[in-house]
């Protein structure tokens, strides 16, 4: 996986501060921002995110429950809602980024506890330890 995946997983795991991630995200061109949101949505699906993760993700993201991405994330049919969320207008992108990073964090914590508690080969689960960093940058 590439540098972007390392950055996003580091943010989701709290290894990197979310504010630093937001600053990085805001510095990207519009097409790159969309690609990042698309990647995040895919990572959330891979991590087995659930609609039930929405409320915790909203709190963790620090956005209001009335913001458009927050409303959509709690509506059911997560894959459909994620498609709507990543296609929101430009002025919703930072809120969307914060929410999807948080959703990935919530889902990945559960996945890690359930499936990876006794160790795993997912390089992104070893970012904080430095193990697997060669695979992450290769």
Both tokens of 22, joined, read 């937001």
Residue range 123-132, pLDDT digits in tens: 454 455 454 4
Residue 133: which pLDDT band, with cuts at 50, 70 and 90? Answer: very low
Q: What pLDDT was estimated at residue 2?
A: 83
> In whole numbers, what is the pLDDT of the chain averaged over residues?
85
Residue 127, pLDDT score? 54
Confidence at residue 120, expressed as pLDDT on a 0 to 100 scale: 52
Residues 113-131: what's their mean pLDDT? Answer: 54
Q: Which pLDDT does position 113 carry in this prediction? A: 65
Label residue 122 exposed, middle or buried (CB < 10 Å: 0-12, 13-18, 19+).
Answer: middle
Separation of alpha carbons 13 and 9, rounded Å = 6
CA distance 78 to 133: 31
Confidence (pLDDT) at 132: 41
The model's pLDDT over 30-86, given as tens digits with 9 standing for 90+, comes to 999 999 999 999 999 999 999 999 999 999 999 999 999 999 999 989 999 999 999
pLDDT, position 34 = 97
- Which structural domain range is residue 36 located in? 3-137
Residue 76, pLDDT score: 87
Contact 61, 106 (CB under 8 A): no
pLDDT at res. 28: 96
Into how many domains does the chain fold? 1
């Amino acid at each position: 996986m590439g540098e972007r995946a390392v950055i996003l997983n580091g943010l989701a795991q709290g290894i990197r501060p979310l504010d630093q991630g937001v600053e990085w995200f805001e510095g990207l061109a519009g097409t790159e921002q969309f690609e990042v949101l698309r990647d995040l949505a895919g990572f959330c699906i891979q991590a087995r995110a659930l609609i039930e993760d929405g409320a915790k993700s909203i709190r963790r993201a620090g956005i209001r429950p009335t913001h458009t991405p927050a409303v959509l994330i709690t509506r059911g049919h997560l894959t459909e809602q994620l498609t709507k969320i990543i296609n929101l207008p430009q002025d919703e992108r930072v809120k969307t980024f914060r929410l999807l990073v948080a959703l990935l964090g919530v889902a990945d914590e559960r996945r890690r506890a359930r499936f990876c508690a006794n160790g795993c080969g997912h390089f992104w689960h070893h970012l904080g330890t430095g193990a697997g960093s060669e695979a992450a940058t290769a």
